[in-house]
Amino acid sequence: MKELKVVGGVVKEEILMYYQPNAPKTPHAKVKALTVGKPILGTYEGSFVNKFDKRNHRIKTSKGLIAVVGSAGLDKDMVQVDLGADISVMYKGTKEIKSGMYKGKKAHSYEVKASSFDANRKVEVKAALKVAAPVIDTEVDDNDPF
């Protein structure tokens, strides 16, 4: 039998910065917009769902632990990445959706590369969220922390 380690009571490393496709609606010291074409390199440490039901992907970089706020497309790719895999996540901007009910709308696009992954692993989504949410320009929502 392999050596077992104690579970629980482990101090988790603080996330230094959260990255998302758009700049925060109000300035926030720990939230930055992703730069199109600039990859984030590191080790994948899994994901968590925040209080707004958004998946956040933890990546250990050379500067510390960061989180990339998920989207339907990014979540679909990231769920295939194995924990501990070397990873590159690059935001590619938005692209037009070619078919379906959101045809003609724009959605965020990413390129994910990993040293180890399982292409058969699928993201679990709620029934109401089975389609990718399009990027829609809306008025500022004062209840949104970003």
| Local confidence pLDDT in tens for the 146 residues of the chain | 777 766 655 557 789 999 999 988 888 889 999 999 999 999 999 998 888 888 999 999 999 999 999 998 899 999 999 999 999 999 999 999 899 898 999 999 999 999 999 888 876 654 434 444 333 333 444 444 43
Is residue 37 within 8 A of residue 90, CB to CB? The reply is yes
Can you give the pLDDT at residue 135?
Answer: 39
Q: How far apart, in whole angstroms, are the C-alpha atoms of residue 101 and residue 98? A: 10
Can you give the pLDDT at residue 37?
Answer: 96
Can you give the pLDDT at residue 9?
Answer: 52
Instruction: Let me know how long the chain is.
Output: 146
Structural domains in the chain plus CATH codes: 17-116 (2.40.50)
Can you give the pLDDT at residue 72?
Answer: 86
